[in-house]
Amino acid sequence: MATMVCTAGAMSKLRVGWIGTGLMGMPMCMHLVRAGYPVTVFNRTRAKTQPLCDEGAVSVASPLEVAQAADVVFTMLTNASDVRQVMLGPGGVFEGLRPGAITVDSTSSEPSLARELFQIGISKGIHCVDAPVSGGDVGAQEGSLAFMAGGNADTIKVLEPLFKCMGKVTHVGPAGAGQICKLANQITVAANLTGLSEGLIYAEKAGLNPNLFLKAVSGGAAGSKVMDIFGAKIVQRDFLPGGFAENMVKDLGTAIKEAQNMGGCFPGLALTQQLFLSLVAHGDGRLGGQAVCLSLQRLNNITSSDTELKMQ
């Protein structure tokens, strides 16, 4: 098989491989299928690939088969161990890729793994990019995700037509920088969710209508994207996940580990993770991140029934 040249011209007829069709991966991949790219897809539960197959994608039985059929392979998985297994394990992506191919990991993973894959890729003539995302399931469905890409600038430039199908990409630095940016993003989002929840609970506990609180402050300095997306959901007790709370625990844990490695002190990060850990410990890890308000309600002796009555 001829070696693929990593240029914009060579990408015009590229074949896309996609691994991971969960809450985020499914709509992201669907944009590429509907844009006319030939897509080969793998998911551990093969039935979950059926909507993509209905639109023209081809489902295969292993990551190896995806790699053999693709010029660019995207992974959108749960954690770093999943990425390692899919990429480096027996029957994995690296066994099937030819020199000149590209991998794009959009999993919220670890900077160290991104750098490791990049170095292994160099030894095999493969271009590896780490490009996690922000925007949740709504951003994935609407094609408005923010990609934070680490890796070679020329490779990321070549991938821009693909990224544009799903959102907007920003090249933030060398290999691993995308994952670092995502961790910083998660720290910021988690802190905003916690602050928003505290503000709502404080206002309500003091006798203020939470909806009026949101209306009054959303146009001022307290207003934020997090408030726009999650404020009404918290009031309405809508905890359907755009991203699972248990995944936030994982990401914040990775951020804490990285902070220790760099000798940094981030007390807000540690406290925020504890609130999300409490949420998971109460069996609510599969709720959305906005459910962190439940941890704060418990600390303030606000029961679910009380909250439901006040917020209806």
Residues 78 and 204 in one domain: no
Q: Look at residue 256 in the predicted model and tell me its pLDDT.
A: 97
Q: 3-state SS of 15-69? A: CEEEECCCCCHHHHHHHHHHCCCCEEEECCCHHHHHHHHHCCCEECCCHHHHHHC
Residues 232 and 245 sit within 8 Å (Cβ to Cβ):
no
Residues 49 and 162 in one domain: yes
Angle, vertex CA 50, rays to CA 109 and CA 21, nearest 5: 5
Residues 82 and 194 in one domain: no
Q: Look at residue 229 in the predicted model and tell me its pLDDT.
A: 94
To the query of whether residue 205 is one of the catalytic residues in this protein, the response is no
Residues 165 and 187 in one domain: no
Q: Look at residue 307 in the predicted model and tell me its pLDDT.
A: 42
Residues 155 and 207 in one domain: no
Residues 193 and 130 in one domain: no
Residues 37 and 166 in one domain: yes
| Averages of pLDDT over each 10 residues, the chain, 312 residues | 37 86 97 97 96 98 98 97 98 97 98 98 98 95 98 97 98 98 98 98 96 98 96 96 94 96 96 98 97 97 57 34
Per the structure, the complete domain to which residue 205 belongs is given by 181-311
Residues 282 and 139 in one domain: no
Judging by beta carbons within 10 Å of its beta carbon (0-12, 13-18, 19+), is residue 231 exposed, middle or buried?
A: buried
Look up residue 275 and give its two tokens.
């609130």
- pTM more than 0.95: no
AA letter at 199: G
User: Which residue is catalytic, options 13, 124, 164, 182?
Assistant: 182
Residues 25 and 116 in one domain: yes
**How far apart (Å, rounded) are the C-alpha atoms in residues 248 and 266?**
16
Find, among 91, 93, 69, 71, the residue nearest to 83 by Cα: 93
Boundary-marking domain end, from 174, 199, 228: 174
Look up residue 206 and give its two tokens.
């003091």
Beta-carbon contacts of residue 240 (< 8 Å; ≥ 6 apart): 233, 287, 288
Q: Look at residue 12 in the predicted model and tell me its pLDDT.
A: 56
What is the per-residue burial (b if ≥16 Cβ within 10 Å, else e) of 269-299?
Answer: beebbebbbbbbeeebbebbbbbbbbbbbee
**How far apart (Å, rounded) are the C-alpha atoms in residues 281 and 252?**
16
DSSP class per residue in 213-267: HHHHHTTSTT--HHHHHHHHHHHTT----SSBHHHHHHHHHHHHHHHHHTT---H
Judging by beta carbons within 10 Å of its beta carbon (0-12, 13-18, 19+), is residue 153 exposed, middle or buried?
A: exposed
End-to-end CA distance of the chain: 63
Work out how many domains the chain is built from and give that number. 2
Assigned domain for 237 exists: yes
Q: Look at residue 165 in the predicted model and tell me its pLDDT.
A: 98
Assigned domain for 275 exists: yes
Residues 142 and 170 in one domain: yes
Q: What is the DSSP letter of 13?
A: G
Residues 219 and 292 in one domain: yes
Give pLDDT tens digits for 147-205: 999 999 999 999 999 999 999 999 999 999 999 999 999 999 999 999 999 999 999 99
Assigned domain for 1 exists: no
Which CATH number characterizes residue 119's domain?
3.40.50.720
Q: Look at residue 304 in the predicted model and tell me its pLDDT.
A: 61
User: Hey, which residues does 130 pair with through a beta bridge?
Assistant: 105, 150
Boundary-marking domain end, from 174, 198, 227: 174
Residues 64 and 92 in one domain: yes
**How far apart (Å, rounded) are the C-alpha atoms in residues 96 and 26?**
23
**How far apart (Å, rounded) are the C-alpha atoms in residues 202 and 198?**
6
Look up residue 141 and give its two tokens.
């469905």
Cα 297 to chain center, whole Å? 27
Boundary-marking domain end, from 141, 174, 207: 174
